[in-house]
Amino acid sequence: MATITDVCRDLDKLTVFISNLTPYSDDVLCKQIIGTWSIRDIISHIMGWDKNVMKTLNQIIHNEEVELEEHHDVQAFNEASVAFGRKMKPHDLLQEAILQRKQLILTLHLVSEKAFITQFHNSAYTLEAFLKEMFINHDQHHEKQIMQHLQNG
């Protein structure tokens, strides 16, 4: 079982990964690499999920009713997240994504260990499992896609 500190350390790895993308040109960051998505789109997609889970974390901190699950319309949510990012300059988006993730980590530190490991009502997840599966594993999946592209590019 991971602690909040363990999960935060894993979540923070994304900020290092994104920081390592800053030397790349706008052209590289905006070139399609997976379907119609570019590196910028992938980072915007991740940032959208970070923003979304912040609401859940705040509900947990304030002892409100929470349902831990994927968004009811993942496709529409992803499209909206990508569209949001396409309105930003690529390097501004990278900085915003780093800030969003750091805010998520700071907020996660406000969650009690008990709430972190308790299975939520009407959910198959604990917060620990949800963050590991839906965030850390998801980050690693997209990092691998981006690295393969950059190494082959």
| pTM for the model | 0.93
Beta-carbon-side half-sphere exposure of residue 151 (alpha carbons within 13 Å):
6
What pLDDT does residue 70 have?
67
Q: Which two tokens stand for residue 150?
A: 């950059």
| Cα distance between residue 146 and residue 140, in whole Å | 10
- Kindly report the length of the chain: 153
What pLDDT does residue 68 have?
76
What pLDDT does residue 57 have?
95
Give the number of other CB atoms < 10 A from CB of residue 132. Answer: 18
CA quadruple 60, 14, 135, 130: dihedral sign: negative
Closest by CA to 100, choosing from 70, 150, 63, 57, is 57
DSSP letter (8 states) at residue 120: P
What pLDDT does residue 53 have?
93
H/E element holding 142? helix 137-152
Residue linked to tokens 């997240």: 81
Sort strands 32-34 and 37-38 into parallel, antiparallel or unpaired.
antiparallel
Which residue ranges form the domains of the chain, and what is each CATH number? 4-152 (1.20.120.450)
What pLDDT does residue 12 have?
98
What pLDDT does residue 71 have?
64
**Contact between 57 and 108 (Cβ < 8 Å):** yes
Q: Per residue of the chain (153 residues), give pLDDT as tens.
A: 889 999 999 999 999 999 999 999 999 999 999 899 999 999 999 999 999 999 999 999 998 888 777 667 888 999 999 999 999 999 999 999 999 999 999 999 999 999 999 888 778 889 999 999 999 999 999 999 999 999 986
